[in-house]
């Protein structure tokens, strides 16, 4: 198995950046939706595609209508104030735990070589509909001390049952490669795409780290747009119906 880097943007470097945000489809699709929201409202440039032989063998049409092999997309988001953040995301992950482990090690090793020093995995934690919290779980004591000193909401007792999958490994193997890795979590009922939890998580990150980038302004608008793809003629009625109940934040 191996990692192949397809550079999209010259020069073939990641450049200076504040931090990297990583997400895959998961509980409530919280992290993935958060990164998609950031790319929609900020200047975003795809720098590279990371291909790994452990990914499921599903080729998809890309935005140019070309058949693309499975990969993770590495992008740079730049704000008007000069803040630069890297994002890494994809649509799938290896199916076998052994392959997830080998891919996580390969990715983190390469990212470390490219100068990534701090990486946050964005994820959702399934919980009751009345709990709307965001917090960070780091993977080293030194990093935790620094986060707590910066008034970041750091938890030592969650997630109680741990975490599994490629995203969990990316959040935890960083110290083995000199990277300060952590998981940034928003609670969610987790039944489907929870854009409200995604927005809460982005707002929390911006408050903790002063990201200086544009955030999706309105989760209600994001929900309307999502429903429009399913029922264009009735999207407003669907939104009204969903938002009338306490569970409306979770789809």
Residues 6+ apart with CB under 8 A from 169: 100, 101, 104
pLDDT reported for residue 189? 87
Q: Is the pLDDT of residue 50 over 80?
A: yes
Neighbours of 241 (CB within 10 A): 11
pLDDT reported for residue 198? 94
Q: Which domains does the chain have, with CATH numbers?
A: 3-216 (3.40.50.10900), 218-251 (no CATH)
| Predicted confidence (pLDDT) per residue in 163-196, tens digit | 999 999 999 999 999 999 999 999 998 767 788 9
Provide the pLDDT confidence category of residue 251 given band limits of 50, 70 and 90.
very low
| Least confident span in 26-35, 87-96, 149-158, 221-230 | 221-230
pLDDT reported for residue 225? 60
pLDDT reported for residue 129? 87
Q: Which residue has the tokens 């994001």?
A: 222
Provide the pLDDT confidence category of residue 238 given band limits of 50, 70 and 90.
very low
| Least confident span in 21-30, 78-87, 132-141 | 78-87
Q: Is the pLDDT of residue 101 over 60?
A: yes
Provide the pLDDT confidence category of residue 157 given band limits of 50, 70 and 90.
very high
Q: Is the pLDDT of residue 239 over 50?
A: no
pLDDT reported for residue 228? 58
Q: Distance between CA 101 and CA 182 in Å, rounded? A: 17
Q: Distance between CA 212 and CA 79 in Å, rounded? A: 7
Mean pLDDT score of the chain: 87
């Amino acid at each position: 198995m191996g990692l192949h880097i397809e550079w999209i943007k010259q020069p073939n470097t990641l450049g200076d950046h504040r931090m990297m945000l990583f997400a895959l489809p998961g509980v409530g699709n919280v992290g993935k939706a958060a990164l998609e929201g950031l790319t929609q409202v900020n200047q975003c440039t795809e720098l590279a595609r990371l291909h790994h032989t452990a990914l499921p063998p599903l080729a998809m049409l890309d935005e140019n209508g070309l058949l693309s092999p499975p990969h993770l997309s590495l992008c740079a988001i730049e704000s008007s104030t000069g803040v630069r953040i890297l994002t890494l995301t994809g649509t799938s992950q290896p199916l076998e735990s052994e392959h997830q482990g080998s891919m996580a090690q390969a990715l983190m090793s390469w990212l470390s070589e490219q100068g990534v020093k701090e990486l946050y995995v964005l994820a959702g934690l399934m919980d009751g509909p009345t709990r709307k919290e965001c917090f960070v779980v780091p993977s080293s004591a030194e990093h935790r001390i620094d986060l707590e000193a910066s008034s970041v909401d750091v938890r030592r007792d969650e997630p109680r049952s741990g975490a599994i999958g490629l995203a969990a490994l990316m959040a935890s193997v960083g110290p083995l490669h000199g990277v300060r890795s952590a998981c940034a979590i928003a609670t969610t009922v987790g039944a489907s795409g929870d854009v409200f939890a995604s927005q809460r998580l982005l707002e929390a990150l911006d408050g903790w780290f002063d990201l200086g980038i544009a955030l999706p302004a309105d989760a209600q608008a994001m929900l309307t747009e999502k429903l429009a793809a399913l029922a264009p003629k009735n999207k407003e009625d669907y939104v009204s119906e969903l938002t009338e109940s306490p569970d409306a934040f979770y789809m």
